[in-house]
Amino acid sequence: MIDSDSVVVLAAGAVKRFGDKKLLQDVCGMPLFSLTLRNVRTGPWQTFIVVSEASGLADRDTGVPKVINRDPSQGMSSSIRCAVEALSSSARIVFVNGDQPLVRAEHIERLIARCTPGRICATRVNGETVTPVCFPPKEFYGELRALRGDRGGQADPGQPPGGCCFHRR
């Protein structure tokens, strides 16, 4: 049986450019990560998880189930693989980065509504594809499990028309 939709907050990144624990930095009196959780956790999805490294955010009690990425040095793809393993029976999985406090539940709902079988639905900002991205995992399970490095799943430019839709945030 296929579960309902799932939302995953990716929070195991190395923060190479920032140089410190970016997700724990204070923004408007709250850690950046907490703002992201607050804004995306309410919605009609049944499952909501955080993928984090073995220390740091995993130690914080956020009230959200966590999946531990034991080797975040492999990049974002390792967190995506962890989430797909944990949620392989979901109808659709939406990936959100932990440093996106401006993403709202309504935006995720629109992505889910447009993510139909065989079709990835991504966010487009200023002509660039960014997270959140929604995948129907059953059809893309193999591709998501095969990802390597510090890149997430992206639409293949050679994909047939209708294979990917974009939603402007």
pLDDT in tens, 4-52: 899 999 988 655 555 667 777 788 888 888 888 888 888 888 888 899 8
In this prediction the pTM is 0.83
- Tell me the mean pLDDT in the region 50-67: 73
- The answer to the question of residue 150 being in a domain is yes
For the chain, the domain total comes to: 1
Cα torsion for 103, 7, 122, 102, to the nearest 10°?
10
- The answer to the question of residue 147 being in a domain is yes
Query: Can you tell me the distance from the alpha carbon of 51 to that of 67, in angstroms, rounded to the nearest whole number?
Result: 5
Contact criterion met (CB below 8 Å) for 81 and 16: no
pLDDT in tens, 114-154: 888 888 888 888 888 888 999 987 788 888 888 887 666 55
pLDDT in tens, 72-92: 888 888 999 999 999 988 889
Contact criterion met (CB below 8 Å) for 115 and 134: yes
Domain range for 21? 6-168
Please name every residue paired with 26 in a beta bridge, in sequence order, or none if there are none. Answer: 31
Say which CATH number the domain at 82 has. 3.90.550.10
Contact criterion met (CB below 8 Å) for 14 and 52: no
Contact criterion met (CB below 8 Å) for 134 and 92: yes
Q: What angle do CA 12, 26, 94 make, to 5 degrees?
A: 40
- The answer to the question of residue 112 being in a domain is yes
HEC profile for 64-84?
CCEEEECCHHHCHHHHHHHHH
Q: Tokens 């509504």 correspond to what residue?
A: 113
Q: What is the tally of helices (H) and strands (E) in the chain? A: 4, 9
- The answer to the question of residue 65 being in a domain is yes
pLDDT value of position 160? 38
Contact criterion met (CB below 8 Å) for 66 and 10: no
Instruction: Check whether 161 has a pLDDT greater than 70.
Output: no
- The answer to the question of residue 1 being in a domain is no
- The answer to the question of residue 142 being in a domain is yes
What burial class does residue 165 get, using C-beta atoms within 10 Å of its C-beta: 0-12 exposed, 13-18 middle, 19+ buried? Answer: middle
- The answer to the question of residue 50 being in a domain is yes
Pull the structure tokens for residue 137: 């995992």
Pairing mode of beta strands 6-11, 47-53: parallel
